[in-house]
Amino acid sequence: MKRLMVLTVLGLLLGCQTTGDGDESVDLTQIRADRINGHFEQGETAQAVTTAIDGWNDGLFSDNQLTRWLLDARGAMLDEYRQAIVAKDFPTALRASGNIHILSDEPWGAYLPALEESVQSDEELGLAWAVHLLDHGEPVPALSVLTQRGALDDVSSELLFDFLDAARSTNNFAAFRAIAEALRVRGSEEEFPMTGGTPADMLGGTVTVWVNRGIRIDNGVGVPDRSIGSGFFVDPRGYIVTNYHVVESEVDPEYEGYSRLFVKLPGNPDDRVPARVVGYDRIFDIALIKVELDPSYVFSFSDTRELVPGERVFALGSPGGLDSTITSGIVSASGRRFLQIGDAMQVDVPINPGNSGGPLVLPDGQVAGVVFAGIEQFEGVNFAVPAYWIRAILPNLFLEDSVVHSWLGTAVREVADGLEVIYVVPEGGAERAGVVTGDVIRGIDGVAVAKLAEAQDVVVRRRSGELVPVEVVRGDDLVRLLVDTSDRPFSPVEELLREQRIDRLFPVLFGMEVDEVREAPWGADYVISAVYPGSIADESSLSVADPFALRRWQVDRELRAAFIEIIIKKRKAGFLEAGVQLGAYLESDRFL
């Protein structure tokens, strides 16, 4: 039987090893078996599966041993699934169900007997979750779950009418259109009118977000420390979307000062309504806060992935604390790579401090994105987080916690035929599976991917601990892999630099690969072996075969950047020696 290479997230980097005296060989099979059993004991079922498959691929285990572990894993997943169904814990049920179905597919299904009980599909569980949320008075996350699960063909007309009413009551245009169309296909003759609010109506759904951080000392003088931003209602129960950085002091464990969160309603600048942070996502700079009042208007997010440059948009918010302000302009560009995950939208709309967290609205009233403060190196240029990405995380924001994303443990760059692996996280899934730089990812979870945003779109919707199929091209071979995802750190580069030298991260930070050389202490440390087009190294005129010595490096956590100082002999400059400083932001967008 042909062995399939499998990408594992928790395995063991093993080779031929000996004990410290060099005389006695280590029993690799027993070490790997102990690791698998340890995963089972810790409840890390998906990691146990991938570690067992990895050992089987290495020839350490027989087919019978693999079958036994796969049976144990499926049994544990079934127990998790049953308990989650009873507890109405649908995210956990979805993870367990997905893993069970993957083990039932080829090739691993050939090692296991058929399931003796029915396990619901993602679509069935998604519908059950949406109905549960709707029944418990949570229409916004209910509609989000319903529309993200796919087609509505399997939903009864009675339920569709219930969801249609929920969409109408929350001004959810995207959900309303999808549900109304499903009902029309079934021959319904009822009219489904829905129109957006007027600009005055929409301003009634915006707020000024105001955080009082007490007094700070500036040049020996105490001055009020305030954070002012904008927000907008997305749920009739008083839930408001804003930027994370506006309310950061409320939830940042490293902040030790005074912090109180309020919102000011339109037309009432002197009244402060207490608010609390419900959920937040640092990577997308989004937070969900709540006040105890009924809004006069609620917004919903557009389902459009990218807007056409030149399309008209409006920004609503409180620039400088001036509430009920509308400015207009156009979309300048989409697909700007400023976020660690996904992309940003560039807009030509007058935006000032205080607009952060406000809605960027289309003429029909749908929210196209959430405005965030301009990026320092692009003064006068304004940006927004597209609604498409916020829709993906919206249900998680209601779970009253920090949103934690999953990842595969590798960094990539876009090339002509896919996503080339340029870095593999030490002791992460890709490394323990034997994934190497140069592999080209073509598909994730059955979805073809050619762009970073496409791959991140798939991964961002997966949960930690899920088994995810991946396809890579290695040489002339198309290899099928299997990943069990884990929690992604907020700043992977920052975490990795705590454990390893910065030269290991040159491909991610500066876009260059290097070979280490051994010369006199005053000579070169490295020779550049590759420079990625458009990278920092490329823009600094570094080229292949340039030798350089690394003199100093530092991480500035206040600036959120890493810097290196090198002495290099550039080939393009006749190998004349020169000092060069390179800097890169820590929040890299290359990780999957």
Q: How far is CA 502 from the centre of its chain?
A: 24
Higher pLDDT, 22 or 498: 498
CATH number of the domain where residue 525 is located: 2.30.42
Task: Looking at the structure, tell me whether residues 518 and 379 fall in a common domain.
Answer: no
Q: Residue 295's pLDDT is what?
A: 94
CB proximity list for 354: less than 8 A, separation 6 or greater: 208, 228, 229, 230, 317, 318, 319, 320, 321, 322
**Tens-place pLDDT, residues 563-573:** 999 999 888 77
| pLDDT above 50 (res 13) | no
Task: Looking at the structure, tell me whether residues 206 and 315 fall in a common domain.
Answer: yes
Strand order from edge to edge, sheet including 526-531:
512-516, 526-531, 547-556, 561-570, 576-585
| Look-up of token digits 């550039």 | 570
Q: Residue 107's pLDDT is what?
A: 85
Known catalytic residue at 245? yes
Q: Is 136 exposed, middle or buried (0-12, 13-18, 19+ CB in 10 A)?
A: exposed
Last residue of a domain, one of 485, 512, 533: 485
Task: Looking at the structure, tell me whether residues 424 and 501 fall in a common domain.
Answer: no
Q: How confident is the model at residue 256 (pLDDT cuts 50, 70, 90)?
A: confident
Q: Phi and psi (nearest 5°) for 231? A: -160, 170
Residue 266 falls within a domain, yes or no? Answer: yes
Per DSSP (E only), the strands in 498-557 are 512-516, 526-531, 547-556
Higher pLDDT, 445 or 190: 445
Residue numbers of the domain that contains 149: 139-195
CB proximity list for 156: less than 8 A, separation 6 or greater: none
Task: Looking at the structure, tell me whether residues 564 and 462 fall in a common domain.
Answer: no
Task: Looking at the structure, tell me whether residues 345 and 368 fall in a common domain.
Answer: yes
Q: Give the separation between CA 548 and CA 577, rounded to whole angstroms.
A: 9
Task: Looking at the structure, tell me whether residues 170 and 297 fall in a common domain.
Answer: no
| pLDDT above 90 (res 75) | yes
Known catalytic residue at 285? yes
Q: Residue 9's pLDDT is what?
A: 33
Contact in structure between 350 and 330 (CB atoms under 8 Å): no
Task: Looking at the structure, tell me whether residues 313 and 181 fall in a common domain.
Answer: no
Q: How confident is the model at residue 20 (pLDDT cuts 50, 70, 90)?
A: very low
| pLDDT above 80 (res 341) | yes
- Which 3 state secondary structure label does DSSP give 343? coil
Contact in structure between 391 and 571 (CB atoms under 8 Å): no
Amino acid at 458: V
Instruction: Kindly report the three-state secondary structure assignment for every residue of 235-261.
Output: ECCCEEEECHHHHHHHHCCCCCCCCEE
> What mean pLDDT value characterizes the chain?
88
Q: Residue 479's pLDDT is what?
A: 87
Residue 102 falls within a domain, yes or no? Answer: no
Q: Which of 9-13, 318-322, 369-373 has the lowest mean pLDDT?
A: 9-13
Which residue of the set 356, 406, 535, 540 is catalytic? 356
Burial 49-81 (b: 16+ CB within 10 A, else e): bbbbbbbbbbebbeeebbbebbebbbebbbebb
Q: Give the separation between CA 169 and CA 12, rounded to whole angstroms.
A: 53
CATH number of the domain where residue 417 is located: 2.30.42.10
Q: Residue 427's pLDDT is what?
A: 77
Task: Looking at the structure, tell me whether residues 441 and 515 fall in a common domain.
Answer: no
* Mean pLDDT, range 241-265, rounded to an integer: 93
Q: How confident is the model at residue 50 (pLDDT cuts 50, 70, 90)?
A: confident
CA dihedral 19, 25, 27, 29 (to 10 degrees): 120
| pLDDT above 90 (res 288) | yes
Residue 519 falls within a domain, yes or no? Answer: yes
Q: Residue 428's pLDDT is what?
A: 79
Which residue of the set 54, 144, 162, 245 is catalytic? 245
**Tens-place pLDDT, residues 423-432:** 989 877 777 7
Task: Looking at the structure, tell me whether residues 161 and 230 fall in a common domain.
Answer: no
Q: How confident is the model at residue 521 (pLDDT cuts 50, 70, 90)?
A: low
Task: Looking at the structure, tell me whether residues 381 and 418 fall in a common domain.
Answer: no
* Mean pLDDT, range 68-94, rounded to an integer: 96
Last residue of a domain, one of 344, 374, 397: 397
| pLDDT above 90 (res 522) | no
CA-nearest of 194, 166, 196, 418 to 297 is 196
Known catalytic residue at 332? no
Q: What angle do CA 112, 118, 121 make, to 5 degrees?
A: 95
Task: Looking at the structure, tell me whether residues 317 and 388 fall in a common domain.
Answer: yes
CA dihedral 284, 290, 294, 296 (to 10 degrees): -30
Contact in structure between 355 and 318 (CB atoms under 8 Å): yes
Task: Estimate the share of the chain in helix, then strand, then coil, as percent rounded to the nearest 5.
Answer: 30, 30, 40
Last residue of a domain, one of 345, 375, 397: 397
Which residue of the set 235, 285, 484, 525 is catalytic? 285
CB proximity list for 582: less than 8 A, separation 6 or greater: 510, 536, 537, 540, 563, 564, 566
Residue 85 falls within a domain, yes or no? Answer: no
First to last CA, the chain: 31
| pLDDT above 50 (res 516) | yes
| pLDDT above 70 (res 19) | no
**Tens-place pLDDT, residues 127-160:** 999 999 999 999 999 999 999 888 899 999 999 9
Residue 330 falls within a domain, yes or no? Answer: yes
Q: How confident is the model at residue 16 (pLDDT cuts 50, 70, 90)?
A: very low
Residue 70 falls within a domain, yes or no? Answer: no
Q: Residue 4's pLDDT is what?
A: 40
Structural domain tally of the chain? 4
Report if pTM > 0.85: yes
CATH number of the domain where residue 353 is located: 2.40.10.120
Task: Looking at the structure, tell me whether residues 304 and 316 fall in a common domain.
Answer: yes
Q: How far is CA 171 from the centre of its chain?
A: 27
Q: How confident is the model at residue 5 (pLDDT cuts 50, 70, 90)?
A: very low
| pLDDT above 70 (res 214) | yes
Contact in structure between 312 and 330 (CB atoms under 8 Å): yes
Residue 39 falls within a domain, yes or no? Answer: no
> Hey, what are 513's tokens?
């690969």
Percent with pLDDT over 90 in the chain: 64
| Look-up of token digits 């009432």 | 268
| pLDDT above 90 (res 108) | no
Q: How confident is the model at residue 375 (pLDDT cuts 50, 70, 90)?
A: low
Residue 77 falls within a domain, yes or no? Answer: no
Q: Residue 51's pLDDT is what?
A: 85
CB proximity list for 176: less than 8 A, separation 6 or greater: 164, 167, 168, 192, 194
